[in-house]
Structure formats: C-alpha cells, structure tokens
Amino acid sequence: MRQKDCIAVIERHVYPAAAASWDASGMQVAGLRDEVRRVAVCLDPTPASVAAALDGGADFILSHHPLLLKGRLPSQPDAYHAVLRLLLRADVPLYAAHTSLDVNVYGPAGWLADELGLADRAVLEPVGQDAPQGPLGYGLAGDLPEPLSLAELAQALGRHIDLSTAVVCGTAPARVRRVSYCTGSGSSMWPAAAALGAEVHITGDVKYHTALDADICMIDVGHHSLEEEMMRRMALLLAGELPGTDVFFVPSVSPLRSLAQAADSRF
C-alpha cells in the first residue's frame, strides 16, 4: 500500500479539519519511502515506543499524541532528538491523530460508551462540524443500562482499564444513572457534563482547584488508561481496513504509578 493511501484510510476515522487550533495532528516526521507494509500504532511517540515499532518492522507509525505541539530545532540530545534520530535514520514517517481522533466520538474515542452500553448519548463539547453519524466533539454523556453504585461502576471500568492510581472527588450519588467521560485531560468539561445530566464524570488530570469547585462527582483514571485502550482499538480497526498491510499495537505503561507500586518494585 502506498503511504498516501494508508493516510487516506486513517483519515476515514480522524478529522484533521476539526482538530483543535493549538494541536499538531497530522504528519509529524516525513519519510521518503512510499510503500507501507507494516504499520505500528502507539499512544505516545516516545523513544521507547518508536524503537519498539521499528524493531517490529514498522515502515509507518501512527501515534495519538504529537511529537511536539510547537516545532523547535533538535538542539539538544533529549527525547525529541532521539525520536527524530530513530525515524530519520530508518526513513519511517510518523503521523499523529490527536484531537482529530478525539473529536470523532463514533470511532475508537467512543469505545467506553460502547462497553458501558450508554444510551441517549450527547457530545459534551461539540466542535461545529458533523460526521455522517452526527456532530463531532469532545466527550460523551449517556445513560447506563441500569443504575449502578459507584463501586459497581468502578468494577465495570476495571474490566477494561487500570484503576490502580484512580482517585475520586465530589459527592457520589447513591446510584449512578447517567455518566460522562472524556479521554485525556477532560476535567474542564464537568459543567457541560452536569448540564447534560451526568452524575459522574470520568476523565484524567483533575486538578486540585477543579476538584474543589466541581459540582459533580469525578473519577480521575489518569491521562493514560482511556487513551491507551483507544489506540489499541484503533489498531484493530485499521487491521481490517489496510489490505495487504500488517498492523500491530505498541503497548505502553503510564509514567504515573502509585507509591505502593514503586515501593514494591524497589524503584
């Protein structure tokens, strides 16, 4: 498959024109090779993930997070320099689907809503552009098939993501009927979640003062967990849509872990 055709398939599921103005979705590092036989999908284009992708024979890498949000010279031997060195020496392109993927709540970004069986879904923050299925935007709210306690909701989440560093803020209702979520850093959307009737909002990176001010219960599952699973599912999706091309997922672990985990591993 040619590189441009591979990107065209990816962009069936991402919307570059709907990406945030501050974002850097799209081609990150160009490659001269045109034939794509093996695609690696990862969450972060870290030196470790890029090296694993290249070791796996990738000749095209799709990440969620961009290499940088603002370009700069590789003037020091840091992680940015290391990734550029790996990619340019191998002549392998890197493409990022960041907010361009986040806004497509009908694609892999909607995986948690599908697993929880949410009905009567609504987008938390529409972006003013529609997909064939409906409005694009960030985050979803929806009704659970049946009301759950917070503990039961946590059990449902734990079947799919790591909750070892999860924390909760706000007062949880006795039973949760309607929930919302936003992958990555979505705690600022709690007012929209509350306005749409959500009783619990699931996201990452909840800040202290946001927790103080929020009038809704929030579960902070961390930035990594929801997006890691989203990209794993993106890899599965592409595997069925890139004929003659192998697609594999490069797993990663959150850079954050509990103190107990660190102590147990003698880190």
Is the CATH code 3.40.1390.30 the one for domain 103-221? yes
Give yes or no for residue 266 having a pLDDT over 70: no
Taking residue 75's Cβ as centre, other Cβ atoms within 10 Å add up to 8
> Hey, where are the domains in the chain?
3-100+227-249, 103-221
Domains 3-100+227-249 and 103-221 fall in the same CATH topology: yes
71-126 confidence digits (pLDDT tens): 899 999 999 999 999 999 999 999 999 999 999 999 999 999 999 999 999 999 99
Query: What pTM does this model have?
Result: 0.95
Q: What's the pLDDT band for 259 if we cut at 50, 70, 90?
A: confident
Give the C-alpha distances (Å, rounded to integers) separating 100 from 60, 122, 212. 18, 18, 31
207-235 confidence digits (pLDDT tens): 999 999 999 999 999 999 999 999 999 99
Q: Are 24 and 70 in contact (CB under 8 A)?
A: yes
C-alpha–C-alpha distance, residues 149 and 154, integer Å: 9
Is the CATH code 3.40.1390.30 the one for domain 3-100+227-249? yes
130-177 confidence digits (pLDDT tens): 999 999 999 999 999 999 999 999 999 999 999 999 999 999 999 999
